[in-house]
Protein backbone atom coordinates (compact mmCIF):
# COMPACT_ATOMS: atom_id res chain seq x y z
CA UNK A 1 0.00 0.00 0.00
CA UNK A 2 1.28 3.46 -0.89
CA UNK A 3 1.75 5.98 1.89
CA UNK A 4 2.34 9.72 1.89
CA UNK A 5 6.02 9.09 2.65
CA UNK A 6 6.44 6.90 -0.41
CA UNK A 7 6.46 9.98 -2.63
CA UNK A 8 9.66 11.19 -0.96
CA UNK A 9 11.41 7.85 -0.56
CA UNK A 10 14.47 7.19 -2.72
CA UNK A 11 13.64 5.61 -6.03
CA UNK A 12 16.30 3.12 -7.08
CA UNK A 13 15.10 3.21 -10.67
CA UNK A 14 15.36 6.99 -10.82
CA UNK A 15 18.80 6.89 -9.15
CA UNK A 16 20.07 4.48 -11.75
CA UNK A 17 19.33 7.01 -14.46
CA UNK A 18 15.90 5.89 -15.66
CA UNK A 19 12.98 8.28 -15.80
CA UNK A 20 11.13 8.90 -12.53
CA UNK A 21 7.48 7.84 -12.25
CA UNK A 22 5.04 10.34 -13.71
CA UNK A 23 3.44 12.75 -11.28
CA UNK A 24 -0.32 12.55 -10.56
CA UNK A 25 -0.81 15.69 -12.67
CA UNK A 26 0.96 14.12 -15.65
CA UNK A 27 -0.97 10.87 -15.28
CA UNK A 28 -4.22 12.80 -14.98
CA UNK A 29 -3.44 14.79 -18.11
CA UNK A 30 -2.64 11.62 -20.04
CA UNK A 31 -5.84 9.96 -18.86
CA UNK A 32 -7.97 12.96 -19.80
CA UNK A 33 -6.17 13.08 -23.15
CA UNK A 34 -7.00 9.42 -23.79
CA UNK A 35 -10.62 10.25 -23.04
CA UNK A 36 -10.53 13.07 -25.59
CA UNK A 37 -9.03 10.71 -28.18
CA UNK A 38 -11.84 8.22 -27.55
CA UNK A 39 -14.50 10.94 -27.74
CA UNK A 40 -13.05 12.29 -31.00
CA UNK A 41 -14.20 9.10 -32.72
CA UNK A 42 -17.77 9.41 -31.44
CA UNK A 43 -19.25 11.47 -34.28
CA UNK A 44 -17.66 9.42 -37.11
CA UNK A 45 -18.64 6.20 -35.32
CA UNK A 46 -22.19 7.52 -34.89
CA UNK A 47 -22.33 8.33 -38.61
CA UNK A 48 -21.29 4.73 -39.30
CA UNK A 49 -23.84 3.43 -36.80
CA UNK A 50 -26.62 5.33 -38.55
CA UNK A 51 -25.84 3.33 -41.71
CA UNK A 52 -27.23 0.26 -39.97
CA UNK A 53 -29.52 1.50 -37.21
CA UNK A 54 -32.15 4.16 -36.70
CA UNK A 55 -31.25 7.04 -34.36
CA UNK A 56 -33.38 5.84 -31.44
CA UNK A 57 -32.21 2.25 -31.82
CA UNK A 58 -28.57 3.30 -31.96
CA UNK A 59 -28.79 5.36 -28.77
CA UNK A 60 -30.83 2.79 -26.83
CA UNK A 61 -28.74 -0.23 -27.85
CA UNK A 62 -25.43 1.53 -27.17
CA UNK A 63 -26.67 2.42 -23.69
CA UNK A 64 -27.76 -1.16 -22.97
CA UNK A 65 -24.51 -2.71 -24.24
CA UNK A 66 -22.37 -0.30 -22.23
CA UNK A 67 -24.51 -0.85 -19.11
CA UNK A 68 -24.22 -4.64 -19.39
CA UNK A 69 -20.42 -4.44 -19.69
CA UNK A 70 -20.14 -1.99 -16.79
CA UNK A 71 -22.61 -3.95 -14.66
CA UNK A 72 -20.63 -7.13 -15.27
CA UNK A 73 -17.46 -5.50 -13.94
CA UNK A 74 -19.29 -4.08 -10.93
CA UNK A 75 -20.73 -7.50 -10.08
CA UNK A 76 -17.50 -9.39 -10.70
CA UNK A 77 -15.55 -7.04 -8.44
CA UNK A 78 -18.38 -6.97 -5.86
CA UNK A 79 -18.45 -3.20 -5.78
CA UNK A 80 -20.94 -1.99 -3.14
CA UNK A 81 -23.74 0.37 -4.04
CA UNK A 82 -22.81 4.06 -3.88
CA UNK A 83 -23.85 6.10 -0.87
CA UNK A 84 -27.31 7.56 -1.09
CA UNK A 85 -25.82 11.06 -1.25
CA UNK A 86 -24.19 10.20 -4.60
CA UNK A 87 -27.28 9.00 -6.43
CA UNK A 88 -28.52 12.48 -7.37
CA UNK A 89 -25.15 13.29 -8.94
CA UNK A 90 -25.10 9.94 -10.76
CA UNK A 91 -28.57 10.73 -12.13
CA UNK A 92 -27.21 13.99 -13.58
CA UNK A 93 -24.33 12.08 -15.20
CA UNK A 94 -26.75 9.50 -16.59
CA UNK A 95 -29.18 12.10 -17.95
CA UNK A 96 -26.49 14.29 -19.46
CA UNK A 97 -23.73 11.98 -20.66
CA UNK A 98 -25.32 8.54 -21.03
CA UNK A 99 -28.69 9.59 -22.51
CA UNK A 100 -28.92 13.28 -23.37
CA UNK A 101 -25.73 13.93 -25.32
CA UNK A 102 -25.80 10.69 -27.37
CA UNK A 103 -29.48 11.10 -28.26
CA UNK A 104 -29.31 14.77 -29.20
CA UNK A 105 -26.12 14.47 -31.24
CA UNK A 106 -27.36 11.33 -33.01
CA UNK A 107 -30.55 13.16 -34.01
CA UNK A 108 -28.44 16.09 -35.20
CA UNK A 109 -26.12 13.88 -37.26
CA UNK A 110 -29.06 12.73 -39.35
CA UNK A 111 -28.96 16.08 -41.14
CA UNK A 112 -25.62 17.57 -40.05
CA UNK A 113 -22.09 16.69 -41.10
CA UNK A 114 -19.56 15.65 -38.48
CA UNK A 115 -17.66 18.88 -39.18
CA UNK A 116 -20.66 21.01 -38.31
CA UNK A 117 -21.48 18.90 -35.25
CA UNK A 118 -17.93 19.48 -34.01
CA UNK A 119 -19.00 23.04 -33.16
CA UNK A 120 -20.60 21.55 -30.05
CA UNK A 121 -17.35 19.94 -28.96
CA UNK A 122 -15.49 23.20 -29.58
CA UNK A 123 -17.78 25.00 -27.16
CA UNK A 124 -17.93 22.16 -24.61
CA UNK A 125 -14.69 22.98 -22.69
CA UNK A 126 -15.77 26.55 -22.00
CA UNK A 127 -19.29 25.48 -21.04
CA UNK A 128 -17.93 22.78 -18.73
CA UNK A 129 -15.66 25.32 -17.03
CA UNK A 130 -18.66 27.62 -16.53
CA UNK A 131 -20.74 24.79 -15.03
CA UNK A 132 -17.80 23.89 -12.81
CA UNK A 133 -17.52 27.45 -11.52
CA UNK A 134 -21.22 27.45 -10.66
CA UNK A 135 -21.41 23.91 -9.25
CA UNK A 136 -18.17 23.28 -7.39
CA UNK A 137 -16.94 26.82 -6.85
CA UNK A 138 -13.77 26.69 -8.96
CA UNK A 139 -12.28 30.09 -9.74
CA UNK A 140 -9.81 29.88 -12.64
CA UNK A 141 -7.52 32.83 -13.29
CA UNK A 142 -8.11 35.58 -15.84
CA UNK A 143 -5.35 34.13 -18.01
CA UNK A 144 -7.15 30.79 -17.98
CA UNK A 145 -10.40 32.37 -19.16
CA UNK A 146 -8.73 34.41 -21.88
CA UNK A 147 -6.97 31.35 -23.25
CA UNK A 148 -10.15 29.27 -23.02
CA UNK A 149 -12.17 31.90 -24.88
CA UNK A 150 -9.48 32.24 -27.54
CA UNK A 151 -9.33 28.48 -28.03
CA UNK A 152 -13.10 28.15 -28.19
CA UNK A 153 -13.29 31.02 -30.71
CA UNK A 154 -10.63 29.39 -32.90
CA UNK A 155 -12.39 26.03 -32.87
CA UNK A 156 -15.82 27.52 -33.56
CA UNK A 157 -14.49 29.63 -36.43
CA UNK A 158 -12.78 26.62 -37.95
CA UNK A 159 -15.70 24.21 -37.64
CA UNK A 160 -18.24 26.74 -38.91
CA UNK A 161 -15.95 27.46 -41.87
CA UNK A 162 -15.70 23.74 -42.55
CA UNK A 163 -19.48 23.48 -42.71
CA UNK A 164 -19.74 26.38 -45.14
CA UNK A 165 -20.88 28.91 -42.56
CA UNK A 166 -24.51 27.80 -42.76
CA UNK A 167 -26.58 26.99 -39.69
CA UNK A 168 -28.88 23.99 -39.91
CA UNK A 169 -32.01 22.85 -38.11
CA UNK A 170 -29.76 20.45 -36.20
CA UNK A 171 -28.25 23.34 -34.25
CA UNK A 172 -30.97 23.23 -31.59
CA UNK A 173 -30.11 19.59 -30.93
CA UNK A 174 -26.41 20.43 -30.82
CA UNK A 175 -26.68 23.34 -28.40
CA UNK A 176 -29.00 21.36 -26.13
CA UNK A 177 -26.48 18.51 -26.20
CA UNK A 178 -23.76 20.98 -25.24
CA UNK A 179 -25.61 22.05 -22.09
CA UNK A 180 -26.59 18.60 -20.83
CA UNK A 181 -23.14 17.15 -21.50
CA UNK A 182 -21.37 19.99 -19.66
CA UNK A 183 -23.63 19.39 -16.66
CA UNK A 184 -22.88 15.66 -16.75
CA UNK A 185 -19.13 16.19 -17.08
CA UNK A 186 -19.10 18.61 -14.18
CA UNK A 187 -21.06 16.32 -11.88
CA UNK A 188 -19.04 13.29 -12.93
CA UNK A 189 -15.77 15.11 -12.26
CA UNK A 190 -17.03 16.10 -8.81
CA UNK A 191 -18.05 12.53 -7.98
CA UNK A 192 -14.72 11.15 -9.24
CA UNK A 193 -13.02 12.94 -6.36
CA UNK A 194 -14.72 10.63 -3.86
CA UNK A 195 -15.16 7.39 -5.85
CA UNK A 196 -13.20 5.77 -8.70
CA UNK A 197 -13.95 7.26 -12.09
CA UNK A 198 -14.87 3.90 -13.62
CA UNK A 199 -17.47 3.41 -10.90
CA UNK A 200 -18.99 6.83 -11.65
CA UNK A 201 -19.36 5.76 -15.27
CA UNK A 202 -20.48 2.24 -14.41
CA UNK A 203 -23.21 3.22 -11.97
CA UNK A 204 -24.49 5.97 -14.29
CA UNK A 205 -24.80 3.40 -17.07
CA UNK A 206 -26.50 0.85 -14.85
CA UNK A 207 -28.90 3.54 -13.65
CA UNK A 208 -30.10 3.93 -17.24
CA UNK A 209 -30.64 0.21 -17.83
CA UNK A 210 -34.30 0.14 -16.73
CA UNK A 211 -35.00 2.81 -19.35
CA UNK A 212 -32.61 1.50 -21.98
CA UNK A 213 -33.95 -2.06 -22.20
CA UNK A 214 -37.59 -1.23 -23.06
CA UNK A 215 -36.46 1.70 -25.22
CA UNK A 216 -34.19 -0.60 -27.23
CA UNK A 217 -36.96 -3.18 -27.65
CA UNK A 218 -39.46 -0.57 -28.87
CA UNK A 219 -36.99 1.21 -31.15
CA UNK A 220 -35.76 -2.01 -32.77
CA UNK A 221 -39.37 -3.02 -33.40
CA UNK A 222 -40.18 0.20 -35.27
CA UNK A 223 -36.88 1.15 -36.90
CA UNK A 224 -35.44 -1.09 -39.62
CA UNK A 225 -32.00 -2.59 -38.96
CA UNK A 226 -29.55 -3.02 -41.84
CA UNK A 227 -26.74 -5.31 -40.76
CA UNK A 228 -23.46 -4.13 -42.25
CA UNK A 229 -19.86 -3.70 -41.16
CA UNK A 230 -20.01 0.07 -40.67
CA UNK A 231 -23.22 -0.08 -38.66
CA UNK A 232 -22.01 -2.78 -36.27
CA UNK A 233 -18.53 -1.26 -35.89
CA UNK A 234 -20.00 2.17 -35.17
CA UNK A 235 -22.40 0.73 -32.60
CA UNK A 236 -19.66 -1.22 -30.81
CA UNK A 237 -17.37 1.80 -30.64
CA UNK A 238 -19.95 4.26 -29.28
CA UNK A 239 -21.02 1.64 -26.72
CA UNK A 240 -17.66 0.34 -25.49
CA UNK A 241 -15.26 3.09 -26.57
CA UNK A 242 -17.06 6.41 -26.20
CA UNK A 243 -19.74 5.44 -23.69
CA UNK A 244 -17.59 3.32 -21.36
CA UNK A 245 -13.79 3.31 -21.73
CA UNK A 246 -13.57 6.97 -22.77
CA UNK A 247 -15.64 8.13 -19.81
CA UNK A 248 -13.62 6.00 -17.37
CA UNK A 249 -10.25 7.59 -18.23
CA UNK A 250 -11.88 11.00 -18.69
CA UNK A 251 -13.32 11.12 -15.18
CA UNK A 252 -10.07 9.81 -13.70
CA UNK A 253 -8.22 12.60 -15.45
CA UNK A 254 -10.68 15.26 -14.29
CA UNK A 255 -10.36 14.07 -10.71
CA UNK A 256 -6.56 14.36 -10.92
CA UNK A 257 -6.10 17.73 -12.63
CA UNK A 258 -9.42 19.46 -12.00
CA UNK A 259 -12.52 19.98 -14.13
CA UNK A 260 -11.55 23.32 -15.79
CA UNK A 261 -8.09 22.22 -16.92
CA UNK A 262 -9.26 18.80 -18.10
CA UNK A 263 -12.10 20.39 -20.04
CA UNK A 264 -9.66 22.55 -22.00
CA UNK A 265 -7.97 19.44 -23.41
CA UNK A 266 -11.19 18.97 -25.35
CA UNK A 267 -10.26 21.98 -27.47
CA UNK A 268 -8.27 19.49 -29.54
CA UNK A 269 -11.24 17.16 -29.95
CA UNK A 270 -12.94 18.87 -32.94
CA UNK A 271 -9.70 18.78 -34.91
CA UNK A 272 -9.19 15.11 -34.11
CA UNK A 273 -12.78 14.46 -35.13
CA UNK A 274 -12.18 16.17 -38.47
CA UNK A 275 -9.09 14.04 -39.05
CA UNK A 276 -11.12 10.90 -38.42
CA UNK A 277 -13.85 12.28 -40.67
CA UNK A 278 -11.35 12.50 -43.52
CA UNK A 279 -9.94 9.03 -42.92
CA UNK A 280 -13.20 7.22 -42.16
CA UNK A 281 -15.91 9.22 -43.92
CA UNK A 282 -14.02 10.75 -46.84
CA UNK A 283 -14.74 14.38 -45.89
CA UNK A 284 -12.36 17.08 -47.14
CA UNK A 285 -10.55 19.70 -45.03
CA UNK A 286 -9.15 23.08 -45.99
CA UNK A 287 -5.61 24.40 -45.43
CA UNK A 288 -6.94 26.20 -42.33
CA UNK A 289 -6.69 22.95 -40.35
CA UNK A 290 -2.97 23.11 -39.39
CA UNK A 291 -3.21 26.82 -38.53
CA UNK A 292 -6.18 26.22 -36.25
CA UNK A 293 -4.46 23.20 -34.73
CA UNK A 294 -1.44 25.31 -33.82
CA UNK A 295 -3.63 28.00 -32.24
CA UNK A 296 -5.56 25.42 -30.24
CA UNK A 297 -2.40 23.75 -28.97
CA UNK A 298 -1.09 27.13 -27.77
CA UNK A 299 -4.35 27.76 -25.91
CA UNK A 300 -4.21 24.32 -24.32
CA UNK A 301 -0.65 24.95 -23.15
CA UNK A 302 -1.68 28.27 -21.58
CA UNK A 303 -4.71 26.84 -19.79
CA UNK A 304 -2.67 23.93 -18.42
CA UNK A 305 -0.11 26.35 -16.95
CA UNK A 306 -2.59 28.92 -15.70
CA UNK A 307 -3.25 28.75 -11.98
CA UNK A 308 -6.64 29.53 -10.56
**Residue-wise pLDDT tens digits, 132-175:** 877 777 777 888 888 888 888 888 888 777 667 766 778 889 88
Tell me the CA distances in angstroms from 74 to 35, 82, 196, 204, 206, one per residue in order.
Answer: 21, 11, 12, 12, 10
3-state secondary structure of 19: coil
Q: Name the pLDDT band for 12 (thresholds 50, 70, 90).
A: very low
Q: Report how far residue 94's alpha carbon sits from residue 123's, in angstroms, rounded to the nearest whole number.
A: 21
Of all residues in the chain, the percent with pLDDT exceeding 90 is 37
DSSP secondary structure of 170-191: THHHHHHHHHHHHHHHHHHHHH
Evaluate if residue 261 carries a pLDDT over 90: no
Q: What is residue 267's predicted lDDT score, i.e. its pLDDT?
A: 77
pTM given for the model: 0.79
Q: What is residue 20's predicted lDDT score, i.e. its pLDDT?
A: 53
Evaluate if residue 238 carries a pLDDT over 80: yes
In this structure, the number of other CB atoms found within 10 A of the CB of residue 182 comes to: 26
Displacement of CA 203 from its chain's centroid (Å): 17
What's the number of CA atoms in the CB half-sphere (13 Å) around residue 83? 5
Q: Residue 270 burial by CB count (10 A; 0-12/13-18/19+): exposed, middle or buried? A: buried
Picking from 175, 157, 91, 147, the residue whose alpha carbon sits closest to that of residue 263 is 147
In this structure, the number of other CB atoms found within 10 A of the CB of residue 283 comes to: 17
**Residue-wise pLDDT tens digits, 176-213:** 998 999 999 889 888 988 888 789 989 999 999 999 99
Higher pLDDT, 215 or 143: 215
Tell me the CA distances in angstroms from 85 to 23, 98, 203, 252, one per residue in order.
Answer: 31, 20, 14, 20
In this structure, the number of other CB atoms found within 10 A of the CB of residue 190 comes to: 21
Mean pLDDT of 38-67: 94
Q: Report how far residue 51's alpha carbon sits from residue 226's, in angstroms, rounded to the nearest whole number.
A: 7
Q: What is residue 22's predicted lDDT score, i.e. its pLDDT?
A: 67
Q: Report how far residue 185's alpha carbon sits from residue 259's, in angstroms, rounded to the nearest whole number.
A: 8
Q: What is residue 195's predicted lDDT score, i.e. its pLDDT?
A: 86
Q: What is residue 166's predicted lDDT score, i.e. its pLDDT?
A: 66
Q: Residue 27 burial by CB count (10 A; 0-12/13-18/19+): exposed, middle or buried? A: middle
Integer distance in angstroms from the first to the last C-alpha of the chain?
Answer: 32
Q: What's the whole-number average pLDDT of the chain?
A: 83
**Residue-wise pLDDT tens digits, 66-123:** 999 999 989 998 999 999 999 999 999 999 999 999 999 999 998 888 877 877 777 8
Amino acid sequence: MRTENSATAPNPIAVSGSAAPASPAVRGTLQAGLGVAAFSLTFPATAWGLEGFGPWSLVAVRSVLAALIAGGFLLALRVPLPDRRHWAGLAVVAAGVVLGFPLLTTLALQTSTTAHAAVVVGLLPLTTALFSALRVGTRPSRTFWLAALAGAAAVVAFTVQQSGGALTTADLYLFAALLVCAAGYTEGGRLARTMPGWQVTGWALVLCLPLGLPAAAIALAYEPVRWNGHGVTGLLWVAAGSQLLGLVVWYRGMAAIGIPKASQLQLAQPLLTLVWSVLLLGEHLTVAAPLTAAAVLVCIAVTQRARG
